[in-house]
Homo-oligomer: A and B are copies of this chain.
Amino acid sequence: MVTSEPRNRADRRRLRTRAALLTAARQVIGSQGVDATTIQDITDAADVAKGSFYNHFSGADAIVRAAVEETLAELGETLEVLTEPLRDDPARVLAVSLRHTLRACVQDPTLGWFILRAGDLIEVGDIALGAYGRSDIRRGLESGRFHFDDVELACTMIAGSVEALVRRRLKGELPPEAEEALAAHLLRLLGVPDGDAQAITEEELPPLGDPRRTEHEPGPAQTNPDPRRRS
């Protein structure tokens, strides 16, 4: 996002409204799920009149798509920056991608729940596979760093495990250590030697927040009220 700095106050106002709607959408969808979310829920949470909504988005679908795209772009960018220096070791790339994604979702429950409940458009598991998606896994197999017979099955197991873990971490059913433990187990599953897997997943992870420009404030780690509603 960040499309060419807003020139004047009017533009900034417009952007503020749009941002308020997107933030509200993420928040509401995160706590109720996409299907249960009405446009009024969003405008109420954004403290914006209903009519304004249609100045920015053509309907519910559009705002969901926009919110998802923004979220994906942000996470993807961060992962790319984070893993770029590690590209010569697929195992490290995967470990960092997994751990960063897990941590980001858990430390900002609004983000985590939004991804979990935003529908088919976005999946934590796929994000956690890293900026290069399954191509990183494929490279690892070709280079002999990984040993596994079926790329697709590997990706399925990784993605599924990640999603399940995020959900249970957000529900408070698993301790923080489970994140590193999961990453280590997944590396082992891919045939990375035990010691390596352990060592790699114990490496320091850069602190959260956009890794390049630190001007961006971290954003309060909101807690997420109870889910569901409606009938």
- Residues of A at the B interface (CB closer than 8 Å) are 33, 35-36, 59-61, 120, 125, 149-150, 152-153, 156-157, 159-165, 168, 173-174, 178, 181-182, 185, 189, 228, 230-231
Contacts and interface: CB of A to CB of B under 8 A. Distances in A.
Number of identical protomers: 2
B156 A61 contact: no
A231 B160 contact: no
B189 A174 contact: no
A161 B168 contact: no
Contacts of A189: 185, 189
A164 to B, nearest CB: 3
A168 B168 CA distance: 22
Contact of A160 (B60, B150, B162): B162
B174 A61 contact: no
A164 B168 contact: no
Given A125-B164, A157-B161, A150 B35 contact: no
B61 A231 contact: yes
A231 B228 CA distance: 20
Contacts of A36: 35
Nearest to A162: B160
A180 to B, nearest CB: 11
A157 B178 CA distance: 11
B231 A59 contact: yes
A164 B159 contact: yes
